[in-house]
C-alpha cells in the first residue's frame, strides 16, 4: 500500500478530505458541500463525513497521519472558538483520534493555506506575504521575514473580525460590522443569489454560469463588494505593508471576475496610506486545494 498523509480542509460550507502523496500532490479526494439544513448543526455532519472518508482511504493507503485545517482559534487540538462552524471549546483532536485510531494534528485553515502556498517557487521572491482566505468567513495569516507568524494562546490574525462598519451587520461572533460580513465570498454569493432569486444550495459551477450571463443585473453588487473588500484589505496593507498578497478560499473560483477590479480599486481609490501604481495580489496557486495540502504538511 502507498504511504500517504491525509489532509482535511473544513470550512463553514465545504469539507474536503484528501490523500496526499509524499511529494505534496493530492491523489484522491472526497468532498462535500453542506446544505443549508446541515449548516444548522454542522459539527456531527462534518465529523461523520471526515471519519467515513478516512475509513475509505484506509482501505487503499497506509496513512501516516491526519492533518486538519479548520476555521477558528485552535489550541493544542482544542477548538476554542469557530464562529462559522458553530463550535466552542471542543476537543476535536481527541474526537477524531478516538474515531479513526490515527494521529491528528489541527491548525487554523488560513495558516494551512500559507504553509502550502509559501512552498511555491512563485512566492520565493517575497519575504512578507499576507494570506487571506475568502470563503464562508475571512481567514488570515502572515508570513513575516519568511516565517509564519503565530500567536501564543490565541491564534490572532482574525482579520475577518475587524470592524469596517459601525453598527453594521451582526456577525456570528456577536459583534457588528465585521469585515467578513461584507468581504467574504459568502457575502458576495448571498447577495447575488437573492438578486437573481436562486436557491441558497445552488452548486458553485451553476452559480458562476448564472453570474456570467446576468452581469448587467448584478453590476452594483460586484461594485459594492469590491469596495468593502478593498476597505478591509487596505487597512491590512497600511498596517503590514506586505510584499505580496495571496487570496485563497472560494474567492479562487471567482478571481476571473473580481481580482482585477479589486486591484484597481486599491490602487486608484484613496484607501492606501502609501500610494502606488500597482499592487501585488495573487490568487492562491493551488486554488481550493491549498487547505488540504497545507493540512497534510502539519
Helices 204-213 and 185-195: crossing angle in degrees, nearest 10, is 60
Work out whether 161 is an interface residue with Zn ion (CB under 5 A). yes
Give, rounded to a whole angstrom, the gap between the first and last alpha carbons of the chain. 22
Closest distance between Zn ion and the C-beta of residue 124, in Å?
A: 34
For 161, the grid coordinates are 473580525
Residue 267, CB-side half-sphere exposure with 13 Å CA sphere: 12
Residue from 30, 102, 112 nearest 69 by CA: 112
Closest distance between Zn ion and the C-beta of residue 173, in Å?
A: 3
Nearer to Zn ion, 106 or 171 (CB): 171
Work out whether 173 is an interface residue with Zn ion (CB under 5 A). yes
How far apart (Å, rounded) are the C-alpha atoms in residues 99 and 247?
34
Work out whether 178 is an interface residue with Zn ion (CB under 5 A). yes
Work out whether 171 is an interface residue with Zn ion (CB under 5 A). yes
Nearer to Zn ion, 78 or 173 (CB): 173
Stretch that binds Zn ion, among 121-129, 161-169, 253-261, 290-298 (CB under 5 A): 161-169
Strand (E) or helix (H) holding 90: strand 87-91
How far apart (Å, rounded) are the C-alpha atoms in residues 155 and 39?
24
Work out whether 42 is an interface residue with Zn ion (CB under 5 A). no
Residue from 215, 181, 224 nearest 196 by CA: 215
Helices 215-240 and 204-213: crossing angle in degrees, nearest 10, is 110
Nearer to Zn ion, 137 or 294 (CB): 137
The label of the residue with cell 469596495 reads 227
Stretch that binds Zn ion, among 43-51, 98-106, 153-161, 190-198 (CB under 5 A): 153-161
Nearer to Zn ion, 132 or 171 (CB): 171
Stretch that binds Zn ion, among 2-10, 138-146, 175-183, 287-295 (CB under 5 A): 175-183
Work out whether 259 is an interface residue with Zn ion (CB under 5 A). no
**Site residues (vs Zn ion, CB under 5 A):** 161, 171, 173, 175, 178
Amino acid at each position: 500500500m502507498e504511504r500517504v498523509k491525509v489532509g482535511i480542509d473544513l470550512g463553514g460550507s465545504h469539507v474536503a478530505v484528501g490523500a496526499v502523496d509524499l511529494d505534496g500532490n493530492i491523489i484522491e479526494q472526497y468532498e462535500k458541500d453542506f446544505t443549508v439544513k446541515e449548516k444548522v448543526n454542522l459539527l456531527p455532519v462534518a465529523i461523520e463525513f471526515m471519519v467515513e472518508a478516512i475509513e475509505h482511504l484506509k482501505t487503499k493507503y497506509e496513512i501516516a497521519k491526519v492533518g486538519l485545517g479548520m476555521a477558528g482559534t485552535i489550541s493544542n487540538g482544542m477548538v476554542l472558538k469557530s464562529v462559522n462552524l458553530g463550535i466552542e471549546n471542543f476537543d476535536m483532536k481527541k474526537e477524531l483520534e478516538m474515531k479513526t485510531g490515527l494521529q491528528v494534528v489541527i491548525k487554523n485553515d488560513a495558516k494551512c493555506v500559507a504553509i502550502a502556498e509559501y512552498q511555491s517557487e512563485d512566492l520565493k521572491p517575497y519575504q512578507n506575504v499576507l494570506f487571506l482566505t475568502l470563503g464562508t468567513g475571512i481567514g488570515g495569516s502572515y508570513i513575516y521575514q519568511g516565517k509564519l507568524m503565530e500567536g501564543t494562546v490565541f491564534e490572532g490574525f482574525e482579520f475577518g473580525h475587524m470592524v469596517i462598519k459601525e453598527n453594521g451587520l451582526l456577525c456570528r461572533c456577536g459583534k457588528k460590522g465585521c469585515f467578513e460580513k461584507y468581504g467574504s465570498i459568502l457575502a458576495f454569493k448571498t447577495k447575488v443569489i437573492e438578486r437573481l432569486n436562486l436557491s441558497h444550495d445552488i452548486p458553485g459551477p451553476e452559480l458562476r454560469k448564472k453570474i456570467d450571463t446576468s452581469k448587467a443585473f448584478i453590476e452594483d453588487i460586484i461594485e459594492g463588494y469590491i469596495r468593502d473588500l478593498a476597505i478591509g484589505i487596505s487597512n491590512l496593507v497600511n498596517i503590514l505593508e506586505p510584499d505580496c498578497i495571496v487570496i485563497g478560499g472560494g474567492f479562487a473560483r471567482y478571481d476571473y471576475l473580481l481580482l482585477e477590479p479589486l486591484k484597481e480599486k486599491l490602487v486608484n481609490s484613496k484607501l492606501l496610506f502609501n500610494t502606488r501604481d500597482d499592487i501585488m495580489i495573487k490568487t492562491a496557486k493551488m486554488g481550493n486545494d491549498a487547505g488540504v495540502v497545507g493540512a497534510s504538511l502539519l
